[in-house]
């Protein structure tokens, strides 16, 4: 079973299949802005919506921590553009 975990002190959301790390969404924090810089999923797990779940995990936590979101990661940028959150454009 795939589980998504948010690890704030590492600035990333991580996907696990049991104890194996299979994907991550990383961000850089500057003042009140989180900039998503990378989203990646192991090729064996692609096409299952895991990358979107990782980005959505970061979005949910940005709301929780009252942070604005921007993205240098092209995939995350697409997800942000289709979500209904307040954010600054990057």
DSSP 21-60: EEEEEEEEEETTEEEEEEEEE-GGGTTSSHHHHHHHHHHH
**C-alpha R_g of the chain:** 12
Query: Over the range 42-57, which residues count as b (16 or more CB within 10 Å of their CB) and which as e?
Result: eeebeeeebbbbbbbb
Q: pLDDT (tens digit, 0 to 9) for every residue of the chain, 90 residues total?
A: 999 999 999 999 999 999 999 999 999 999 999 999 999 999 999 999 999 999 999 999 999 999 999 999 999 999 999 876 544 444
Q: What is the pTM of this model?
A: 0.91
């Amino acid at each position: 079973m795939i589980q998504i975990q948010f690890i704030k002190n590492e600035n990333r959301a991580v996907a696990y299949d049991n104890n194996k790390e299979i994907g991550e969404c990383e961000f850089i924090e500057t003042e009140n802005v989180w900039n998503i810089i990378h989203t990646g999923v192991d090729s064996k797990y692609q096409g299952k919506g895991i990358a979107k779940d990782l980005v959505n995990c970061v979005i949910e936590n940005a709301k929780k921590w009252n942070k604005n979101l921007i993205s240098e990661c092209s995939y995350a940028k697409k997800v942000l553009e289709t979500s209904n959150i307040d954010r600054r454009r990057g």
